[in-house]
Structure 1
Amino acid sequence: MPTKTKKEKPSFAKASKGEEDKNEQRIRIRLKAFDSRIIDKSAKQIIETLEKLDVKAIGPVPLPTEISKFTVNRSTFVHKDSREQFEMRIHKRLIEIPNPSSKTIDALQNLSLPAGVDIEIKM
């Protein structure tokens, strides 16, 4: 009886994701805010600063809005049917800068953004 042999998958000479990222340095700027208008103004300000320096930027990419909902009783003790609902929305944006220079990093550090915007920078 002939035995069945497993077909081997061809191996390609393409570098994996981890190897590609080692060659290219990136800065990822993640913005968070409760107000969508403020976060859009901040993202626009960052993009304009990068355009002045002739730096190519990817974004701003809108990330999913995180919604937290809270339901509370209107009264303190009884009347469970009478409730009130509140929600809190956290808007997020992502800006990616491939191959940043030292001038780019200095310009981003000296940038003043409006209050209420949380900035998270990853290299």
Structure 2
Amino acid sequence: MTESQLLQEQSRRALGTAPPTPLAAVNTTISRTPALDASVSSPADTRMPRSLAALYLKPLRREAEYGVPSCDLQLRSYTLRNLEFYCDFALRAAYYLGLPAYGPVPLPRMIERWTVPRSSFIFKKSQENFERITLRRLIQIRDGHPDTVQVWLAFLQKHAYYGVGMKANVWEFSKLGVGKAMDESVKEVEGLLQDKWAHLGEQKRPEDETVEKIQEFLDKERMTISHGR
């Protein structure tokens, strides 16, 4: 330090305006909240149930052993969103019933157009066009038991979605001699219906002569009308 700086420092100390000496450093500890228990997880880390997580994934499918078609289900709609949603629902229902399902296969669109007059009076010469597009999807069931296929179709019909139509072609395979089996079943049905047909026979004619009584009644009515009564 120079002489001038020393003199200034001595004068400050004499007048009591010197800066305070630095205090000794004090060790301070900051208290923090204890960490959360590792067993408690945040909602974002909670695992979803498998049944709920499966909604965000593609439908599960079962493999066919022989590949014999059992049912062709055709879905039709004018809205693509409803059609895709119900196809997904049908595939999931088939999986839980144990049916091997294939599809949905997009089918050609059905386009229909109509040309009609715009109005029935002065504007009847001007015409307007209307167009309707039908979207279609095909789902095929293979190696399915006929009873299980009927349960699947009944379940889809019970929980039908609005704006979606269904058309099903079902195949059933039977052993040889189906005609003989049908003839035997007809005979059994006839035997069950014999008791019921007995109650539907012609009734016996009553002892009273109803024809004569009806003729007598008509004659009385004619006499009453002719006399103005």
TM-score interval, smaller chain: 0.5 to 0.7
Q: Which residue of 2 aligns with 1:72?
A: 116
Q: RMSD of aligned C-alpha atoms?
A: 2.2
Quick check: 1:58–1:97 contact (8 Å CA) kept in 2?
Answer: yes
Specify whether residues 114 and 107 from structure 1 end up closer, same or farther in structure 2 by C-alpha distance, changes over 3 A only.
Answer: same
Provide, for residues 73-112 of structure 1, a one-character-per-residue CA deviation record: whole Å limited to 9, x for no partner: 22324553x3221111111111100111333431331231
1:85 and 2:129 matched: yes
Structure number with greater Rg is 2
Q: In the alignment, is the contact (CA less than 8 A) between 1:29 and 1:96 conserved in 2?
A: yes
Asked if the contact 2:69/2:140 (under 8 Å) is kept, the reply is no
Matched, 1:26 2:61: no
Runs of 4+ in 1 over 4 A off after TM superposition: none
Aligned to 2:162, what secondary structure does the other structure show? coil
1:105 equivalent in structure 2: 150
Deviations 1:45-84 (A, max 9, x none): 100111223432111111111111112222324553x322
- How many residues are matched? 100
More strand by share: 1
Rounded to whole Å, the distance in 1 between the matches of 2:142 and 2:119 is 54
Aligned positions of 1:10-49 closer than 5 A: 24-49=68-93
What is the CA deviation profile of residues 4-58 of structure 1, one whole-angstrom value per residue up to 9, with x for unaligned ones?
Answer: xxxxxxxxxxxxxxxxxxx934211011222222222111110011122343211
Q: What's 1:117 paired with?
A: 164
For structure 1, the residue ranges without an aligned partner over 5 or more in a row are 1-22
Query: Are the aligned partners of 2:71 and 2:149 in contact in 1 as well (CA < 8 Å)?
Result: no
Counterpart in the other structure of 1:5: none
Letter in 1 for 2:153: L
Q: Does 1:52 align with 2:96?
A: yes
SS in 1 for 2:111: strand
Question: Which structure is higher in helix share?
Answer: 2
CA distance in 1, matches of 2:140, 2:152: 15
Are 1:56 and 1:98, in contact at CA under 8 Å, matched by a contact in 2?
yes
Please report the TM-score for the alignment, with normalisation by the length of structure 2: 0.39
Tell me the amino acid that sits aligned with residue 117 of structure 1: V
Structure 2 unaligned residues grouped into runs of 5+? 1-66, 171-229
- Native 8 Å contact 2:109 2:134 kept in 1: yes
Higher-RCO chain (CA-CA 8 Å, sequence separation at least 6): 1
Normalised by the length of structure 1, the TM-score is: 0.68
